[in-house]
């Protein structure tokens, strides 16, 4: 049985952006945006110079001016990162970004030489898939069990045994999240849709801090929202960036907290927040006190303030994060909002 797939490279290239791909690799935060370009260290040759790799957002192409001395489109990038063919890269892109193979004129289970026999090719008038498809992340059919709950990294981050068990986090010895702290991510209905894998410590050059499963779109989820939305409506919803910020607030007794899993709020996350709010709802935006957090919170406040009461928390020290707060400080901040 031949499983050859015909891939319309052109169609796929227009469906995915370099920004989405960097996000997929957990690299987006290591890139700086300025005007039409994103620049950062080259993820292909694992460079360190922060300007050697550049992406043109409008053209959706990349270039490494250092070791690779090479550039290309989105598929070339995946092919080089994975060390696979363009064809295989296209299939990966379809899987990762939930593209609809039907409308990308792919015929599966066909033999290449008999392709012309295939009854119908995708009609040219067929609308293309939107880059941000609304297909939700599918609930996982498995659970990572035997996670080590007493891993020292979790204690280093200040988590108590109760919080560790409550959030179901733990060190994973085997499988796709091997040697990482696995953090289950639930959708709004409380089903696990992915495990994020945090490197337990400071990762070395080229090793991402977080690993997310292929195809998982974190922009569609809000960490801990399944529980936070069940909290009393009169309490403010606190929005933080990271898993550990969220767990820290939760541990301090403030449970109406969600994490964006980054410093920006996606359209889907905005929708989810507003769907679970009224115009009396209050939102406290508490992102990290760094450049990304500062620009992220402005944008979030601007978008949410049209529908709810929004307050921004600013830390008085650079690089402060909600995770660094004591339980007492968290209490004071939330109560004053
Ligand atoms: Zn390079």
* 38 bridge partner residues: 33, 55
Residue 109 has pLDDT above 90, yes or no: no
Distance 49 CA to ligand 1 centre (A): 10
Q: What is the mean pLDDT of residues 195-222?
A: 91
Distance CA 23, CA 36 (A): 17
Burial of 114 (0-12, 13-18, 19+ CB in 10 A): exposed
* pLDDT for the residue 205: 83
With CA atoms as reference, report the closest residue to 17 among 119, 102, 93: 93
- 130 CA from centroid of ligand 1 (Å): 30
pLDDT at 14: 79
CA of 22 to the centre of ligand 1 (A): 14
Q: What is the pLDDT of residues 34-78, one digit of tens each?
A: 999 999 999 999 999 999 999 999 999 999 998 888 899 999 999
Where helices occur in 97-150 by DSSP H, the ranges are: none
Residue 108 has pLDDT above 60, yes or no: no
Under the banding of pLDDT at 50, 70 and 90, the label for residue 107 is: very low
Kindly state the DSSP code that residue 213 receives in the 8-state scheme. Answer: -
What pairs with residue 171 in β-bridges?
A: 148, 181
Residue 86 Cα to ligand 1 middle (Å): 18
* pLDDT band, very low/low/confident/very high, at 270 (cuts 50, 70, 90): very high
| Alpha-carbon separation of residue 99 from 22, 80, 131, 231 (angstroms) | 17, 21, 8, 35
Q: Give the bridge partners for 142, in sequence order.
A: none
The answer, yes or no, to whether residue 180 has pLDDT greater than 60, is yes
Which residue's entry shows tokens 């988590």?
A: 159
Cα 108 to its chain centre, rounded Å, is 29
Percent of the chain with pLDDT over 90: 64
Residue 110 has pLDDT above 80, yes or no: no
What pLDDT score was predicted for residue 119? 44
Sheet strand arrangement including 257-259: 257-259, 237-240, 282-285, 309-312
Give, in order, the Cα–Cα distances in Å from 214 to each of 29, 35, 133, 203, 331: 18, 29, 16, 20, 38
Cα 208 to Cα 24, 115, 195: the distances in Å are 11, 41, 15
pLDDT at 333 over 90: yes
Ligand 1 mean position to 235 CA, how many Å?
48
Give the Cα separation of 72 and 90 in Å (integer). 14
Identify which of 197, 185, 170 has the alpha carbon closest to the alpha carbon of residue 225.
Answer: 185
Q: What's the pLDDT at 102?
A: 61
What residues sit around ligand 1, an ion, with C-beta below 5 angstroms? 42, 44-45, 64, 67-68
Cα of 196 vs centre of ligand 1, distance in Å, is: 27
Q: How far is the CA of 24 from the centre of ligand 1 (A)?
A: 18
Work out the pLDDT band at 127, boundaries 50, 70, 90. Answer: very low
CB 104 within 8 A of CB 94: yes
The pLDDT tens digits for 272-313 are: 999 999 888 999 999 999 999 999 999 999 999 989 999 999
Question: In DSSP terms, which residues pair with 258 in a beta bridge?
Answer: 239
pLDDT-based confidence at 4, cuts 50/70/90? low
Q: What integer best gives the mean pLDDT of the chain? A: 87
pLDDT given for residue 140 in this prediction: 92
pLDDT band at 192 (very low <50, low <70, confident <90, very high): very high
CA–centroid distance, residue 87 to ligand 1 (Å): 22
Q: How far is the CA of 37 from the centre of ligand 1 (A)?
A: 16
């Amino acid at each position: 049985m031949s499983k050859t797939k015909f891939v319309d490279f052109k169609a796929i290239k227009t469906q995915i952006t370099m920004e989405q791909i960097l996000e997929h690799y957990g690299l987006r935060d290591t890139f700086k945006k300025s005007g039409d370009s994103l620049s950062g260290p080259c993820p292909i040759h694992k460079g360190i110079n922060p300007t050697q790799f550049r992406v043109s957002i409008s053209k959706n192409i990349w270039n490494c001016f250092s070791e690779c001395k090479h550039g290309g489109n989105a598929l070339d990038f995946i092919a080089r990162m994975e060390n696979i063919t363009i064809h295989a890269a296209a299939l990966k892109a379809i899987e990762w970004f939930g593209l609809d193979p039907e409308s990308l004129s792919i015929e599966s289970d066909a033999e290449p030489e008999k392709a012309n026999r295939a009854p119908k090719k995708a009609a040219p008038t067929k609308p293309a898939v939107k880059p941000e498809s609304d297909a939700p992340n599918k609930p996982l059919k498995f659970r990572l069990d035997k996670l080590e709950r007493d891993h020292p990294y979790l204690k280093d981050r200040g988590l108590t045994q109760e919080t560790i068990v409550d959030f179901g986090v733990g060190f994973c010895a085997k499988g796709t999240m091997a040697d990482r702290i696995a953090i289950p991510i639930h959708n709004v209905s409380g089903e696990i849709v992915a495990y994020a894998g945090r490197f337990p410590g400071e990762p070395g050059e080229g090793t991402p801090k977080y690993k997310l499963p292929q195809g998982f779109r974190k922009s569609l989820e809000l960490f801990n929202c399944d529980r936070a939305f069940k909290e009393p409506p009169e309490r403010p919803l606190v929005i933080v960036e990271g898993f550990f910020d969220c767990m820290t607030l939760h541990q301090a007794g403030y449970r109406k907290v969600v994490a964006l899993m980054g410093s920006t709020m996606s359209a889907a996350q905005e929708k989810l927040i507003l769907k679970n709010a009224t115009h009396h709802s209050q939102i406290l935006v508490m992102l990290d006190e760094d450049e990304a957090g500062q620009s992220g919170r402005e944008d979030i406040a601007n978008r949410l303030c049209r529908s709810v009461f929004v307050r921004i928390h600013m830390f008085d020290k650079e690089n402060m994060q909600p995770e660094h707060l004591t339980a007492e400080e968290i209490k004071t901040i939330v109560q004053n909002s």
